[in-house]
Amino acid sequence: MTGKLDLDPALVRRARELARRAGQPVVELARSHTTVSVERAALRLAGVTGADPEGIPWVNRLVDAVVADVGLGHGVAVPVFDALAREQITDVTLLAQKAAAGSVRFTVPSGRAASSARRAARRATAAGIKVIDRRRAERDRMIKRYGDPAQRPWIYLIVATGDIYEDIPQAQAAARAGADVIAVIRSTGQSLLDYVPEGPTREGFAGTYATQENFRLMRAALDSSSKELGRYVRLTNYASGLCMPEMATLAGLERLDMMLNDSMYGILFRDINPIRTFVDQRFSRQVHARAGIIINTGEDNYLTTADAVDEAHTVTVSQLLNEYFAHEAGLADRQLGLGHAFEINPDLPESFRLELAHALLARELFPDAPLKWMPPTKHMTGDVFRGNLLDGFFNLVGAMTGQGILLVGMMTEAVVTPWLSDRDIALQNVRYVLNAAGNLHEDFVPAPGGFIQQRAHRVLGEAVELLERIVDDTLLNAIADGTFGIMKRPADRGKGLDGVARHCDDYYNPATEILEGQA
């Protein structure tokens, strides 16, 4: 089966093989390194909670104390659980408090002490992972009870006031108006914080801080809406930035359903060190696999900085790399919300046909993935009438190409933070197009050898050529050269590099051991 685009199956297989070869060295790098956030995530699973009076989580204080005494390369689990035994303490959070006060010293034990510490660390971490398992089973029961949305694509809508207590009623109103997925966009700059804020927050900027308590509050509110509406309403947040592994862990513990989790977004658009990001994304995706969470990748962002026609093949390359990294970490196709976007300049002749070609190419390359289709942003001008029409065209492409997750476009994009009334009008646009188009994707077949097929073939061919160059020159060098989104990010620079360490011979992380056993 070659599908509607008559793609060459041999070329598609070669593209995937090249993506594997390009990605494999990065996976090996991730397998041989750890980061402070990976270690903090493991300790969160083992039971460390809370924050000091300054708002710095105890888990940060504990990892900092271990690193100061023995370094990061051994992992923190064995030194921490050895100290628990030596100090005759059963509460790991209490140990963190004592460590922050300077009253506990850490060592790397050997012999029986090391074996005992490993066993204790694994027991405590396994208890945290069992909580994630229970939350996944809870989701399955709720979907069975309330059901999934009757139609695809799922309608995905952003809520973000900065105040979690304002977000909740807006999210519930959006669900009543037809949204299937509520995304709480994160406060500006949180991705560059090397700690996760604690508790409910009311002071975010252009978004609401992602915290475990905010996750819990919104999840409870949307569970109430699911019961009211008779369909399961999904919740999305962010596993990205310097605390990517911890955000994934907290999402699993609080039963979030989707997480933004791209392999290169933090590198390109937040200048986070590439090695830090690849190590963190592998662990975070292992957690997502265990939790049954759908990841959303960020290829749409490339098209806000690079030309959506000239650089379309870089989106395809990134999707193929994201697929490889996700599969290697244990994620199934049904969990791959691979991103792409409607970002071609609308003044360009044949722009709609080009958008159809790009969207259908993604759909056929990843037939079992719930692709995340992103609305126009770069070419929104402030003319709300034109913007609403452009969003309607975007919605139509989504219907014609069978996208899985459709983010609601706002006619006030780039003008103001959307009002509730803006969201309501945008949702009306989505509902009209999807209802009117129905299953149009079943009938839409491009002309054999026509414009759309030729364009898709060209983009795939260019993607294969780029992957061949990346295999020859390595993915890290391609990122450093500005291949994706025209951002140049060398592997020896960027934020968070000081929080990366190569594994010592005795490195141990019980969370990785358990998660890789499951994968």
**What are 224-253's pLDDT values in tens digits?**
999 999 999 999 999 999 999 999 999 999
> Does the active-site annotation cover 165?
no
Alpha-carbon gap, residue 62 to 50, rounded angstroms: 12
**pLDDT recorded at residue 483:** 86
> What percent of the chain has pLDDT above 90?
89
1 pLDDT band (50/70/90 cuts)?
A: very low
Choosing from 209, 232, 238, 265, the catalytic residue is 265
Inform me whether the pLDDT recorded for 485 exceeds 80.
no
Choosing from 195, 262, 372, 507, the catalytic residue is 372
Please say whether the beta carbons of 337 and 306 come within 8 A.
no
> Does the active-site annotation cover 194?
no
**pLDDT recorded at residue 149:** 87
- The overall average pLDDT reported for the chain is 95
Please say whether the beta carbons of 507 and 75 come within 8 A.
yes
Report the number of secondary-structure helices (H) and strands (E) in the chain.
20, 11
**Assigned CATH topology for domain 238-454:** TIM Barrel (3.20.20)
Alpha-carbon gap, residue 437 to 183, rounded angstroms: 25
Q: Is 181 helix (H, G, I), strand (E, B) or coil?
A: strand
Mean pLDDT of 466-494: 92
Element (H, E) at 402: none
DSSP per-residue string spanning 323-385: HHHHHHHT--GGGEE-EEE--S-TTSTTHHHHHHHHHHHHHHHSTTS--EEE---TT--S-HH
Mean pLDDT of 275-300: 96
Alpha-carbon gap, residue 453 to 459, rounded angstroms: 10
**What are 292-351's pLDDT values in tens digits?**
999 999 888 888 888 999 999 999 999 999 999 999 999 999 999 999 999 999 999 999
* Sequence ranges of the domains in the chain: 34-126, 238-454
Helix axes 451-473, 9-31, angle to 10 degrees: 30
User: Among 146-150, 350-354, 365-369, which is the least confidently predicted range?
Assistant: 146-150
Inform me whether the pLDDT recorded for 360 exceeds 80.
yes
What beta strand segments (E) does 19-176 contain? 33-35, 154-159
User: Among 67-71, 149-153, 162-166, 338-342, which is the least confidently predicted range?
Assistant: 149-153
Mean pLDDT of 502-511: 98
Element (H, E) at 519: none
What's this model's pTM, rounded to 2 decimal places?
0.95
Inform me whether the pLDDT recorded for 27 exceeds 70.
yes
Choosing from 262, 300, 391, 422, the catalytic residue is 300
